[in-house]
Structure 1
Amino acid sequence: MTEQDSAAEILQVYREATARMAGLPMYNPALEPAMFGWQQLDGAQVGILILPWCLNLVWRPDESGLMPPKGESCVLSLASGEYEGIVAYNESVGHYGSASLLSDTRGLQSQADAQSLAAEIAALIFTAPQPSTDKDSAAPDAAAQAENPRRRELFRRMLGASQGK
């Protein structure tokens, strides 16, 4: 199965679920299911799933036997960190992992806003951290990483969206 086939199959599962979710309070009718940034990365196919009710990081490991049973916790290890999620299963897709990135999309005004947010998140999690440029320091400065203004703004934006602001 190609990367694009895998992304399309996962997306189809959620397109079918969209009609059932439409009446829920956290449903945002301005959004439609879409997969953003689907790619092969560190032994798995990964991407960001945009849905009218949430944004999720989703992945399928190259070796399907590496996933625990449906409903169990699983971890995706990337150069940027570890992402804990839950194993999902669908007959046409098989086992795949899903981790919540944003659980309430009502603050997003349009599909373009959702894609912009997905792009910002992808830039953070699909990119390996850059080594320190300080030649006197062997380890990156944790305080400097925590104060990354781009990351701070992204999380502020995500928090505002989740609170409907």
Structure 2
Amino acid sequence: MNARHSSAGWLQHPGAALEQAYRHIQHTRMQGIPILNPAICVESVGFRRYQGWWAGVLITPWFINLMLLPADAPLPDGPAGEERLVALPEGIMPFLPGSEDSIGPYLMCSLFSPLPQFADQQSARDTASEVLRLLFEIPAPPAATPAGPDLSRRRLFGLGGA
């Protein structure tokens, strides 16, 4: 196990370890598989802490996945191989459990697989960043409108003062 990873979870940002693990997978288990997009390389994008987990996107030549790894909190539990629904700020997403010896347990939500629609690394990175923005950016509350009409229920029904 990596020094940044304990049995409880990732103590530090998992991006570099994920990249190393998936580059190894690319050059071993995925070697020669025709679905690999040669314009795309392994890259972690936008990992941040969220509810005791690390959440971000992993780009590989064969998929782009939203990933959750444990940090301070365990991952949602469930039967082996079964989907787990995880509430994110902008919606509930389905995740499948996985594990690799070098990184431990994780949850993954497939965003794209395979990747023929991506011409280059920058387009994959931009897509990953936009997905994270859409899922995790909590919209700001609407600004108060200055001196507009009083639309309170009491005023509308003639129960308020003049």
Which whole-Å CA distance do the structure 2 matches of 1:114 and 1:26 have between them? 16
Contact 1:70-1:89 within 8 A present in 2 as well: no
Could you tell me which residue of structure 1 aligns to residue 159 of structure 2?
Answer: none
Q: Secondary structure at the match of 2:81?
A: coil
Distance of 1:81 and 1:134 partners within structure 2 = 26
Q: Tell me which residue corresponds to 1:47.
A: 56
Aligned residues: 135
* Corresponding residue of 1:126: 136
SS at match of 1:105: coil
TM-score normalised by L of structure 2:
0.71
What is the deviation of 1:114? Answer: 0.9
Q: Which runs of 5+ in 1 are unaligned?
A: 137-165
The amino acid across from 2:20 in the alignment is Q
Q: Which runs of 5+ in 2 are unaligned?
A: 1-9, 146-150, 152-162
Residue 113 of structure 2: aligned partner: 103
| Distance across 1 between alignment mates of 2:75 and 2:137 | 26
1:89 to 99, 102, 110: 99
Identical counterparts, % of pairs: 30
Alpha-carbon RMSD: 2.3
Which residues of 2 match residues 144-155 of structure 1 at below 5 A?
Answer: none
Structure with bigger helix share is 1
- The 10-residue stretch of structure 1 (27-36 or 76-85) with the greater mean CA deviation from structure 2: 76-85
Contact 2:58 2:64 in 1 (8 A): yes
SS in 1 for 2:56: strand
| SS in structure 1 at match of 2:18 | helix
C-alpha distance in structure 1 between counterparts of 2:60 and 2:80, whole Å: 21
Superposed, which structure 2 residues align to 1:3-152 within 5 Å? 3-4=12-13, 6-19=14-27, 20-61=29-70, 62-64=72-74, 66-68=76-78, 70-131=80-141
Q: Is the 8 A contact 2:65 2:112 kept in 1?
A: yes
For the residue of structure 1 that corresponds to 2:122, the secondary structure is: helix
Q: Look up the equivalent residue of 2:88 and give its one-letter code.
A: L
Cα separation, 2, equivalents of 1:65 and 1:122: 19
CA change 1:26–1:43 in 2 (3 A) is same
Inter-partner Cα distance in structure 2 for 1:91 and 1:23: 22
Q: Which has the larger radius of gyration?
A: 2
